[in-house]
Amino acid sequence: MTERAATEQDVRAVAARSREAAAELAPLGRAAKDAALHAMADALVAATDAVLAANAKDVANGRDTGIGESLIDRLALDADRVAAMAQGLRDVAALPDPVGEVLRGYTQPNGLQIRQLRVPFGVVAIIYEARPNVTVDAAGLALKSGNAALLRGSGSAYESNSVLVDVLAAAAEKAGLPRDSVLLVPGTDRASVGHLLKARGLVDLIIPRGGAGLINYVVQNATVPVIETGVGNVHVYVDAAADLEVAERIVVNSKTSRVSVCNSAETLLVHAAIADEFLPRITGALQSAGVVLHGDDAFAALDGVLPATDEDWEREYLSLDMAARVVADVDEAIAHIRRWSSGHTEAIVTRDLDVAQRFVARVDSAAVMVNASTRFTDGGEFGFGAEIGISTQKMHARGPMGLAELTSTKWVVTGAGHTR
Amino acid sequence: MTERAATEQDVRAVAARSREAAAELAPLGRAAKDAALHAMADALVAATDAVLAANAKDVANGRDTGIGESLIDRLALDADRVAAMAQGLRDVAALPDPVGEVLRGYTQPNGLQIRQLRVPFGVVAIIYEARPNVTVDAAGLALKSGNAALLRGSGSAYESNSVLVDVLAAAAEKAGLPRDSVLLVPGTDRASVGHLLKARGLVDLIIPRGGAGLINYVVQNATVPVIETGVGNVHVYVDAAADLEVAERIVVNSKTSRVSVCNSAETLLVHAAIADEFLPRITGALQSAGVVLHGDDAFAALDGVLPATDEDWEREYLSLDMAARVVADVDEAIAHIRRWSSGHTEAIVTRDLDVAQRFVARVDSAAVMVNASTRFTDGGEFGFGAEIGISTQKMHARGPMGLAELTSTKWVVTGAGHTR
């Protein structure tokens, strides 16, 4: 892969085009946007050969530079994957339009009519890694919510993304939308990301999707508002009053059903009162599923459990590893979570309502599960129909982000010559 | 005024105390918070002498260093102003508690119960200028919404703020809340503000209240999430289909009812079709009210109107000055606003529904007024009961910010052993 440099001027010029497109997109009604999404889906399927040819170049470049087979797997497309991306656009078209929803509306005693409406953000920039499907997903979600999409994928998917954006932009234009509704940020070097992060006034929102390193870089350097996504150091606490069969099922599912995703569990906390019975049972169940436990003294006394360090409490493994600790009570579990959690998702397993309520009220995370797997923190599982990411910050959006989270609001106040 | 320096360690240590207090505040119910607010109000009145003595020192220091009489006026307290601050706390106690409100709640087909609740942010830092009343207002609003208040007032109000925070914190503690529910950031130098802006992980939200210089400094340097407030380059557009009597009333009110506030109008745009009739009329009315117009060629042809430059279109005067321009139609008005507005408030005066709808849909500002004065963009006028500021950004909160805007959300998902 050759790194393409882009100057601040290059990046700002493209962002300014996005901003012009956003002004045209904002007042559009649902029918125009849905028609464009269907046109984009059709164009994508029709361009399958061109997309796959570009993708083959990226894959060859990736192999040449040794990016590793798991990255190649994320990067590589085939006709089925292209068809799935097109179907994703049609699915987004089928969702309700969030724009124009009246969130609050009332008439003041003086007769002023006050309404708070959902409106598009404007220009939404998404920074992501080597998954070309995100190019299409993000463009579709941004457009449906009335935003211009300014996309910054990984350099290792540059050829694929260039063709995909060309196809989507041309189809949008043919359907009557601005061609610049979907744009790729120029450059594949880190400096060009830096220019994007500073484009305040041109870009309204940046959503980084990727590992902790990328997200931290964005947060440290952006002057454009950012929504942090996706880092999940997720805990399951098994209370003294848990149904142990339910607890075993939830812990195993939370850890093992898909280890590479942010809502999978990384740390198990167990109430001391049930340790004698539950520790051998859950250790056996997890080890049978291939999990390597990193435990405190109580857990480490069991066969095959490695001793845990602070690094284990802090870490998002994204692998078949799990940290494990015995706590004195729910308050020690809450304190452990406050100390180490990334604020994504935590679960409690208990039949005690007071304990459940205490846990829910005092755990400060985007999602708190009561007697359910942590894997349910997901836009699909929440019924959103689509998801742009999972926010782990408290501002604007927290938890799974659907179309509504890609909107801002506007107050419209109607009077009859009212003055103050 | 002596500048007090504070190291990064000093600032982080205080922020960490706020964070501990926030954990205790989050689960509190309304009764506990309201009782504390009333106790704080009583304590404030009882401490009037001490507050006024400290304030007298600030005022004397201010006069010594020549900060100017308008700043002295904002800084100076008397017994009535202290009583008004106490009453403000009681008014906040009377408002509904936003915490715990269920924003969305439903049961999925698999039986999972999903609820999205309002929760406190945690630690809310407010950076403001030399108005000691903001110390009390901000503390009250933060506490009512379950947040710890971390306050950073101007160095010129340091003595007043220190006593006020001591009084409020002691009263909160006596009422059973953490003493650190209200804390002052140490230091009065700009470097200590810088440390606060970087305290990500300790501080959840920063709200700067002040001039464009302060807000820009905060936005450029913060890694903590920020809500921008208050800069208002506000426009009134008088359409060809306006009732000219209504238009005159709204323009004069928007400009002159209080010139120093962010929702006062700074630029007048007039449709060309009514220029011959309306320009002399509105120019006379504004000049009678003491306004100096800075106009385009059409306006500048009238007596006493100065020629406008780009600086006039850009500027938030906060004075009895107003920029004025004739536009060809509503679209030119919209384009002018998109080019120059700070996104706070714009108004249209028209009887034409299509034109009004076009203006509302295409103007991208926090508030759009139809046949009403721009001065209505205000938490009190919107019926919020209290206001922490007016957001001019699109993320999280836009327009007047009340108690709800000082909250985040949390998803609580309740199952019966659900796994994926």
Predicted-complex ipTM score:
0.95
- CA–CA gap between residue A257 and residue A290 (Å, rounded): 12
Phi, psi of A150 (to 5 degrees): -115, 110
CB–CB of B394/A224 below 8 Å?
A: no
In the block, which residue shows the tokens 């999602």? A367
What's the pLDDT at B266?
98
Among B225, B241, B275, B281, CA closest to B397: B225
Question: Mean pLDDT, to the nearest integer, of B271-275?
Answer: 98
- Tell me the pLDDT of chain A averaged across its residues: 96
Q: Of the candidates A98, A225, A126, which has an alpha carbon nearest to the alpha carbon of residue A183?
A: A126
The mean pLDDT of A385-402, rounded to a whole number, is 93
For chain A, give every residue range classified as CATH 3.40.309.10. Answer: 234-376
pLDDT reported for residue A214: 87
Q: Is B29:B150 a contact under the CB 8 Å cutoff?
A: no
The fold of B8-228+399-414 is Aldehyde Dehydrogenase; Chain A, domain 1 (3.40.605)
| Coil, strand or helix at A4 | coil
- Kindly report the average pLDDT of chain B as a whole number: 96
Tell me how far apart the terminal alpha carbons of chain A are, to the nearest angstrom. Answer: 63
The yes-or-no verdict on residue B174 having pLDDT over 70 is yes
Q: For residue B2, what pLDDT is reported?
A: 63
- Please classify residue B245 by burial: count the beta carbons closer than 10 Å to its beta carbon, then call 0-12 exposed, 13-18 middle and 19+ buried: exposed
pLDDT in tens, B186-240: 988 888 899 999 999 999 999 998 888 888 899 899 999 999 887 899 999 999 9
pLDDT class for B385, splitting at 50, 70, 90?
Answer: confident
Looking at chain B, the domain(s) classified CATH 3.40.309.10 span 234-380
Put simply, the answer to whether B364 touches A112 (Cβ < 8 Å) is no
pLDDT exceeds cutoff 90 at A188? no
Sheet holding A306-307, edge to edge: A306-307, A292-295, A321-327, A265-271, A234-238, A345-349, A367-372, B407-418, B113-120, B102-107
CB contact under 8 A, B114 and A223: no
Please name every residue paired with B268 in a beta bridge, in sequence order, or none if there are none: B236, B324
* Region label for B55, one of left (φ > 0), alpha (ψ between -120 and 50) or beta (otherwise): alpha
As a whole number, mean pLDDT of residues A34-40 equals 98
Neighbours of B260 (CB within 10 A): 9
The token pair that represents A26 in the structure block: 């904002």
Query: Domain A8-228+400-414, what fold?
Result: Aldehyde Dehydrogenase; Chain A, domain 1 (3.40.605)
Mean pLDDT calculated for residue range A277-295: 98
Residue A413 touches chain B, beta carbons under 8 Å: yes
Mutate to test the interface with B, among A378, A413, A414 (most CBs of B within 10 A): A413
**According to the model, what pLDDT value does residue B402 have?**
95
Q: Is the pLDDT of residue A237 over 80?
A: yes
In the chain, the amino acid numbered B388 is I
How many whole angstroms separate alpha carbon B409 and alpha carbon A103?
Answer: 16
Q: What sign does the dihedral B81-B83-B86-B91 (CA atoms) show?
A: negative
Cross-chain Cβ contact A370/B338 below 8 Å? no
Average pLDDT over residues A121-141: 95
The strands making up B148-152's β-sheet, listed across from edge to edge, are B182-184, B148-152, B123-127, B205-208
Does the A234-376 domain belong in CATH 3.30.930.10? no
Is A30 part of the contact surface with chain B (CB cutoff 8 Å)? Answer: no
CATH superfamily, domain at B234-380: Aldehyde Dehydrogenase; Chain A, domain 2 (3.40.309.10)
CB A299 within 8 A of CB A353: no
Amino acid at B87: Q
The average pLDDT across B33-37 equals 98
Tokens of B157: 């109000």
**Chain A contact set for B365 (CB, 8 A):** 410
User: Could you tell me if A108 lies within 8 Å of chain B, comparing CB atoms?
Assistant: yes
pLDDT at A313 over 70: yes
pLDDT of A287 above 90? yes
Q: Give the one of A26, A200, A417 whose C-beta lies nearest to B371's C-beta.
A: A417
Q: Which residue's entry shows tokens 């440390």?
A: B195
- Any idea what the Cα angle at residue A359 is, between residues A368 and A258, rounded to 5°? 35
Angstrom distance (rounded) from CA A396 to CA A378: 17
Lowest mean pLDDT among A395-404, B62-71, B86-95: B62-71
Q: Any residues with CB less than 8 A from the CB of A153 and at least 6 apart, and which?
A: A128, A129, A130, A131, A132, A134, A135, A161, A184
Taking CB atoms and an 8 Å limit, are A394 and B408 in contact across chains?
Answer: yes
Say if B30 is an interface residue toward chain A (CB within 8 Å): no
Find the helix or strand (DSSP H, E) in which B389 lies. strand B389-391
Is A352 at the interface with chain B, CB within 8 A? no
Structure tokens at B274: 């009514």
- From chain A, the residues in CB contact with B358 under 8 A are 27
Domain with CATH 3.40.605.10 in chain A: 8-228+400-414
